[in-house]
Amino acid sequence: MNFTKLAIADVVLIEPKKFGDSRGYFMETFRQSLFAEHVGDFDFVQDNQSLSAEVGTVRGLHFQLDPMAQGKLVRCIAGALLDVAVDIRTGSPTYGKHVAVELTAENGRQLWVPPGFAHGFCTLTPNTEISYKVTNYYSAEHDRGLLWNDLALGIDWPVEADKAALSDKDRKQPSLADLGTVFTY
């Protein structure tokens, strides 16, 4: 596996090696010892999976407050998506900045989104499925979000705002300016 720190160093792109032949392929998608060596020593407690039927489905930008903050290891298992992590740690030199990576079932890439970041994605193909490991259990009480298309974030989403398929919850999230301090660097 290759581990690449991105423009925000705490966010890491992980590229598994695929071994293929006429039957298909094999790839190791996670190894705790390598993850600990290159990213950090995190325990994953829950795996989640979602299907988004339409192109242009946006889910996010989501996070959970402490003490239930989550790190996420995200991968696409069918289709393709643009995966985004936004630094929301007050005092961070990259506060309000983001990284965006295309994850596809074919490229096998994974994105590590650490606690203290808002996470979201937009589907690029129909019937896109993602699977992600998290470092803390889901807690409705601690569940929060950030407005996906806040101009202050400068995210170049691959869908126009009026054409995005969104939940009511994601349409009503606060802007970065209205978020306040949710994590401290």
Catalytic residues: 62, 132
Using DSSP, state whether 18 is helix, strand or coil.
Answer: strand
**Sequential DSSP letters for 21-48:** ETTEEEE----HHHHHHHT------EEE
Residue 18: how many other CB atoms lie within 10 Å: 13
- Residue 92 tokens, joined: 């961070």
- Residue 150 tokens, joined: 């806040």
- Residue 179 tokens, joined: 């978020």
Radius of gyration of the chain (CA): 16
* Alpha helix segments (H runs only) across 12-146: 32-38
Using DSSP, state whether 67 is helix, strand or coil.
Answer: coil
Q: How does DSSP classify residue 173? A: P
Per DSSP bridges, beta strands 89-90 and 183-184 are parallel
